Every structure is written in C-alpha cells, then in structure tokens.
C-alpha cells in the first residue's frame, strides 16, 4: 500500500527548533539532524519496519544518531501516515502523552 506522509505543524515546529539548536551548537549539525529525521520519516511508509507502539495507535521510532523519537500514526483508511511529533528522549512522558491526545 502506498502511503501519503503528512508532517503536522507541531512536528514541523519541533524539527525547526531542534535544527536551530543543533546549528547553534555546531554549524551544519542541524543539517545533519534534519537529514536523518527526513530519512526516518521517509521510511515510515515501509510496512516491513516494526516500530514501538506508544499509547493508542501511536508508534514511535528512534533516530539513529540523535536522541529523538518520531511519533506517528498510520491511517489505513486514508492511506496516510501522520507525523505527530519529533521529540527528545528526555522529554517528560506526560508532556508527550498530552500532545498525542486527540
């Protein structure tokens, strides 16, 4: 099945903020972070990849090099994958769950 990948405005904001933070730490590090996040997001449509299930229908996948998870949901009816958030490992789990509530 072909999935359309949609990145929520919240996830886009997380990506931008993290990019800026890494660029501040070291020039081009933000670009490396963004490139890795893009690779992971592009792979979300691969049904053979098994990702950790989070509350409800939400799944999460870890970036390889950076301490972040990509939180997403797969909508079989709409043939769509929605990236909900891109957040650091150490974020408070209650904060994450609050963002994922519909």
CATH architecture, range 4-100: 2-Layer Sandwich (3.30)
Q: In the prediction, which pLDDT does 48 show?
A: 57
CA atoms within 13 A on the CB side of 36: 20
Q: In the prediction, which pLDDT does 49 show?
A: 60
Q: In the prediction, which pLDDT does 67 show?
A: 96
Q: In the prediction, which pLDDT does 100 show?
A: 65
Q: In the prediction, which pLDDT does 47 show?
A: 65
Q: Which residues of the chain have pLDDT under 50?
A: none
Q: What are the distances in angstroms from CA 88 to CA 3, 47, 64, 70?
A: 26, 25, 13, 9
pTM confidence score? 0.86
Where do the structural domains in the chain lie, given as residue ranges?
4-100
């Amino acid at each position: 099945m072909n999935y359309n990948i949609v990145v929520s405005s919240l996830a886009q904001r997380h990506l931008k903020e993290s990019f800026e933070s890494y660029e501040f730490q070291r020039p081009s590090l933000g670009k490396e972070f963004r490139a890795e996040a893009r690779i992971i997001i592009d792979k979300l449509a691969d049904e053979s990849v098994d990702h950790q299930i989070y509350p409800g229908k939400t799944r999460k996948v870890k970036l390889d090099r950076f301490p972040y998870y990509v939180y997403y949901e797969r909508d079989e009816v709409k043939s769509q994958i929605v990236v909900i958030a891109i957040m650091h490992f150490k974020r408070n789990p209650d904060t994450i769950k609050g963002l994922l509530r519909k």
